[in-house]
Amino acid sequence: MKVPIWVFVVVAVLATAFVLRIGAEELDQSHQTERIAGSAGDVLEDDPVGRLKVFVYELPSKYNKKILQKDPRCLTHMFAAEIFMHWFLLSSPVRTLNPEEADWFYTPVYTTCDLTPNGLPLPFKSPRMMRSAIQLISSNWPFWNRTEGADHFFVVPHDFGACFHYQEEKAIERGILPLLQRATLVQTFGQRNHVCLNEGSITIPPYAPPQKMQAHLIPPDTPRSIFVYFRGLFYDVGNDPEGGYYARGARASVWENFKNNPLFDISTEHPTTYYEDMQRAVFCLCPLGWAPWSPRLVEGVIFGCIPVIIADDIVLPFADAIPWEEIGVFVAEKDVPKLDTILTSIPPEVVLRKQRLLANPSMKQAMLFPQPAQPGDAFHQILNGLARKLPRDKSIHLKPGEKILNWTAGPVGDLKPW
Amino acid sequence: MKHLVLQQQNCNTRRSNSFRTSGSLDSSVDGTFKSPAALFWLVLHGLCCLISLVLGFRFSRLIFFLLFSTNTTTTTTTNHYTVPALLRTTSDTAQTLTLQTPSLSPPISITDTPSNRTSTTTTSSRVVVGRHGILIRPWPHPNPVEVMKAHHIIERVQREQRLQYGIKNPRPLIVVTPTFVRTFQTLHLTGLMHSLMLVPCDLTWIVVEAGGTSNETASLLEKSGLRTIHIGFEERMPITWEARHQMEARMRLRALRVVREQRLDGIVMFADDSNVHSMELFDEIQSVKWIGAVSVGILAHSGNSDDSSSLPQKQEDEENFPLPIQGPACNSSGRLTGWHTFNSLPYVGKSATYFDDRATVLPRKLEWAGFVLNSKLVWKDVEDKPEWVRDVDTLAADGEDLESPLSLLKDTSVVEPLGNCGRKVLLWWLRVEARSDSKFPPGWIIDPPLEITVPAKRTPWPDAPPELPSSEKMNDVQEYTVKHPSKTSRVSRSKRKHESRIADVQVSGRNAEGN
């Protein structure tokens, strides 16, 4: 007699939960957005406060402040995330001043702030800088040696992450800096089965200035009349004039196939209305360049333009929290000549659904690094990602005397002190 | 990536930087100078550079590509990395010596020819680093079926945008148009009709025609597919502009009476047939509550001055006076404080007094076209009608000069300024009419079709078609010299355009028959 009643109660609870969930979806549809649920679940709006504690090492200012003072352009280029992450952690509630209770340790070293006069970061001193920082923290605090860095995380937003080079072949040759093999890397680069992407890395979007993008918003009832939009290089004339190396030939293929197609608004010009034009387009191409990631993805998400990602095996930002297959269109590089067929054969309902997902404000927030930080933004998604890795098993703690990392591995030039 | 745009601008200096700073770090470069095998590669590469100089294309790359294209094992790592890297970097600097024409390794290749090197030695990846072919399909032209599908997608997206962000539940519109039979009536009515056909909400078009309804107008209205109410007004249009304006006002009141009798619901707007409306106007007036006003741009052009000496003065005039605008004036907090009206002072003594006068046709102080009303304001028995509105019947009975719908109100401060408080000009007032002795074919049909060709010298029309409007001022001078002295110089601008168009038709017709 008791069992049927208990079963009935459980069934009733499940039924109401089911009904409520459907109701929630319908309500959201009337608000013209849809909830985003990735493989990690519905986690974009999670609050990391209380789920983890981060200890920020106090490094001498030559690793951070002095570098920034030398070149304040580091705050506006697309690698500025490393600096803003430091500032965010300094004043965040997840920060703890007691390292004994910390789950994660953060090292504020700005490795991507050595800029050429044109504003491009030179990665040649970065390995030495990173190595010197790690030597400092391993000698002044016991926490590095305790786990050989397995509970430390670093922000390395450069082209190929911790491989510290802008050319892919050289980067692959170098591999990830040996000292960072056990640490968690927060980087913009993501490509499956690539040397420069570690298993547990967190992929983040490149930095795009939020105020600048907000300033160029146009009324949402402006009709979207451009079918496909792209502005950028197709041939990198300086480094690869014949094509074939740059973007693995994909961008050149886009140009040669679609330069005369009226549905494709593509060119190399740099218009002042670039942001406004994106808001009048249905699809925005995000092909790979020298590295597979691009700020176009962020711009497309902010402006509601469906990103068409042409980069084989790419790992997109926060891939476990954001279901990119449902939001963007993925086109294999070998399928680029058929791009127009692929895009026009998408059913309109699917297009509308993708636009609804893009219109979700939590989606847009997750791609931005606003100053000051706001709930649901990229900083919080990084912390959420870190929190999802907890709790750890005790095996990361090394037994006394055990050594895994090889401190002399790597090219000879890296071993020079910085 | 944008930084690579900058990168390629500065590649040479950057690479030279890299060579300088990484000379000590890059072990591969060190290695090549030390081992004999690498020395051999260097000599071979120099040889290839010389051959490239002679042949005129980049020989070295091709050779290595062909040599190593058969070797696809994953163990070929460092050798192949250093050699092609070396080739690439040094061949870039040697680029200044070799000519740029790519020939045997063409960028246009139909088949996929991936390079021979793989990216990692640990796990196999589908993505290879190195040179790839550029895939181009044999017929890179758009497929019309796909273009149609793309347009369907765009149209569906725009419809969804309108549903979400545009006007929800638009109220029906009642458009009041006074008109009368004249040469350009079809021209104006067709333009207005097309504008109204594009409006995405319910529409009732009340056309009041002076002199009684005419068949041509009725057939034109039928073709529109809109819901129309065609009313004939018994009096004929008078000659003087003063009287015309008054009669038009009376015709509009007649239409309002129809609105009252039939209890038509919606927003009443006054669209003169010669005005130009923007589509945003129809969206903007949906937000009116009782009575609203929009800004009207006045295109009051002068009919034409005879002497060319006044031309420079006209230019100066146009520089001093920007487009006059009639409409509501607001203070900084967005509340109605007054009205911008048409400044007729510069035109004192020069304005047209009767129809077909060559001088400037001026609008009234405040045109009816700039106002929109809620139709309930003219209904008879409505409970929530505000007290500041007068009854339509009392107005007509008074016989006073109805300048603008403001006469309907006892208190003019209740008017809502629309269009961003009058800052957006949503329609333009323009009175363009044909000359009275114009030779337009009746019904705009040339029947029987033109067969007789007459040499241009015998016709009174000018030989050369006029130039573009930007040079129209110069054109004025030209055309006057071309004209026969017998022709009077009273021409309205529209007439001139039409003459040139017919001249074009004649010319092209002649050419066709000549061939």
CB contact (8 A) between residue B147 and residue A223: no
CA distance A160 to A175: 9
- Expressed in angstroms, the distance from the first to the final Cα of chain A is 77
pLDDT for the residue B193: 92
B132 contacts in chain A (CB < 8 Å): 244-245, 248-249, 333
**Domains of chain B (ranges, CATH numbers):** 168-301+322-429 (3.90.550.10)
CB contact (8 A) between residue B156 and residue A32: no
Taking the CA of residue A367 and the nearest CA in chain B, the distance in Å comes to 17
Tokens for B40, please give them. 């051999």
Nearest to A244 by CA among B131, B295, B250, B271: B131
Residue A40, sorted as left (phi over 0), alpha (psi -120 to 50) or beta, turns out to be alpha
pLDDT in tens, A310-369: 999 999 999 988 999 999 999 999 999 999 999 999 999 999 999 999 999 999 999 999
CB contact (8 A) between residue A78 and residue B105: no
CB contact (8 A) between residue B164 and residue A32: yes
Q: Is there a cis peptide before residue A271, judged by omega within 30 degrees of 0?
A: no
- The beta-carbon neighbor of B165 closest among A168, A194, A220 is A220
Helix (H) or strand (E) holding A129: helix A126-140
How many CB atoms lie under 10 A from the CB of residue B471?
11
**pLDDT tier for residue B320 given thresholds of 50, 70 and 90:** low
pLDDT at residue B504 tops 50: no
A225 contacts in chain B (CB < 8 Å): 154, 158
CA distance A213 to A296: 12
Strands of B391-460 (E only): list them.
416-417, 425-429
Poorest-confidence range of B64-78, B157-171, B207-221, B248-262? B64-78
Taking the CA of residue B263 and the nearest CA in chain A, the distance in Å comes to 33
pLDDT for the residue B379: 83
Q: Which of A344, A360, A415 to mutate to test the interface with B (most CBs of B within 10 A)?
A: A344
CA distance B96 to B87: 14
Contacts of B198 (CB under 8 A, 6+ apart): B279
pLDDT for the residue A410: 80
CA distances to A35, A328, B199, B332, B384 from B192, in Å: 46, 43, 11, 35, 33
Residue B296, sorted as left (phi over 0), alpha (psi -120 to 50) or beta, turns out to be beta
CB contact (8 A) between residue B137 and residue A338: yes
CA distance B36 to A94: 58
Q: Which of A253, A286, A288, A309 to mutate to test the interface with B (most CBs of B within 10 A)?
A: A253
pLDDT for the residue B323: 76
- The beta-carbon neighbor of B131 closest among A227, A239, A244 is A244
CA distances to B245, B462, B489 from B479, in Å: 33, 7, 10
CB A133 within 8 A of CB A417: no
CB contact (8 A) between residue A193 and residue B140: no
CB contact (8 A) between residue A193 and residue B131: no
CB contact (8 A) between residue A413 and residue B122: no
CB contact (8 A) between residue A169 and residue B124: no
> 3-class SS at B325?
strand
Class in CATH terms, A210-367: alpha beta
Q: What are the residue ranges in chain A where pLDDT is below 50? A: 20-30
pLDDT at residue B481 tops 60: no
- CA neighbours closer than 13 Å in the CB half-sphere of residue A197: 22
B157 contacts in chain A (CB < 8 Å): 224, 282, 348, 351-352, 355
Residue found under tokens 């329609």: B427
CB contact (8 A) between residue B11 and residue A238: yes
Taking the CA of residue A275 and the nearest CA in chain B, the distance in Å comes to 15
B198 contacts in chain A (CB < 8 Å): none
pLDDT for the residue B457: 67
pLDDT in tens, A381-416: 999 999 998 888 877 787 777 778 888 888 888 888
A119 contacts in chain B (CB < 8 Å): 3, 6
CA distances to B46, B249, B290, B353 from B342, in Å: 81, 18, 25, 17
A239 contacts in chain B (CB < 8 Å): 7-8, 11, 92
Residue found under tokens 């983890």: A52
- The beta-carbon neighbor of A242 closest among B27, B107, B164 is B107
CB contact (8 A) between residue B25 and residue A413: yes
Nearest to A231 by CA among A180, A289, A192: A289
CB B135 within 8 A of CB A334: yes
CA distance B233 to B214: 11
Tokens for A317, please give them. 């930002």
pLDDT for the residue B498: 46
pLDDT for the residue B107: 37
Taking the CA of residue B67 and the nearest CA in chain A, the distance in Å comes to 18
CB contact (8 A) between residue B102 and residue A242: yes
Residue B479, sorted as left (phi over 0), alpha (psi -120 to 50) or beta, turns out to be alpha
B1 contacts in chain A (CB < 8 Å): 78, 289-291, 294-295
CB contact (8 A) between residue A118 and residue B161: no
- The beta-carbon neighbor of B21 closest among A124, A191, A414 is A124
pLDDT for the residue B465: 57
CA distance B3 to B123: 30
CB contact (8 A) between residue B150 and residue A344: yes
pLDDT for the residue B407: 74
B191-B179-B218 Cα angle (round to 5): 75
CB contact (8 A) between residue B140 and residue A257: yes
CA distance B64 to B409: 89
| Backbone torsions φ then ψ of A272, nearest 5 degrees | -75, -20
Percent of chain B with pLDDT over 70: 56
Q: Which of B132, B136, B164 to mutate to test the interface with A (most CBs of A within 10 A)?
A: B132
pLDDT in tens, B187-233: 899 999 999 998 888 899 999 998 888 888 898 899 888 899 998 88
CB contact (8 A) between residue A118 and residue B6: yes
**pLDDT tier for residue B247 given thresholds of 50, 70 and 90:** confident
Give start-end residues of each CATH 3.40.50 domain in chain A.
210-367
CA distances to B242, B487, B501 from A84, in Å: 71, 79, 66
pLDDT in tens, B15-56: 444 443 333 344 444 444 557 888 988 998 888 888 888 887
B10 contacts in chain A (CB < 8 Å): 116-118, 120
B21 contacts in chain A (CB < 8 Å): 122, 124
Contacts of A118 (CB under 8 A, 6+ apart): B6, B7, B9, B10
Taking the CA of residue A212 and the nearest CA in chain B, the distance in Å comes to 16
Tell me the whole-structure pTM to 2 decimals. 0.65
pLDDT in tens, B424-463: 888 888 888 776 666 777 767 777 777 776 666 666 665 5
CB contact (8 A) between residue B152 and residue A223: no
Tokens for A274, please give them. 């670039």
Please spell the DSSP secondary structure of A184-226, one letter per residue.
EEEES--BTT-TTS-TT-EE-PPP--HHHHHTT---TTS---E
- The beta-carbon neighbor of A348 closest among B4, B156, B166 is B156
The long-range contacts involving B441-448, CB below 8 angstroms and separated by at least 24 positions, are B443/B216, B444/B186
Nearest CA in chain B to A241: B100
Nearest CA in chain A to B159: A223
Nearest to A44 by CA among A363, A358, A354, A369: A363
DSSP for residue B351 = B
pLDDT for the residue B104: 36
CB contact (8 A) between residue B107 and residue A166: no
Tokens for A327, please give them. 């939001």
pLDDT for the residue B445: 76
Tokens for B132, please give them. 């790839």
CA distances to A70, A108, A111, A179, B391 from A66, in Å: 6, 12, 12, 24, 78
**pLDDT tier for residue B321 given thresholds of 50, 70 and 90:** low
CA distance B272 to B370: 10
CA distance B129 to B120: 9
CA distance B199 to A370: 42
CB A59 within 8 A of CB A86: no
- Please list the residues that pair with B176 across neighbouring strands: B206, B270
Contacts of B26 (CB under 8 A, 6+ apart): A413
CB contact (8 A) between residue B147 and residue A32: no
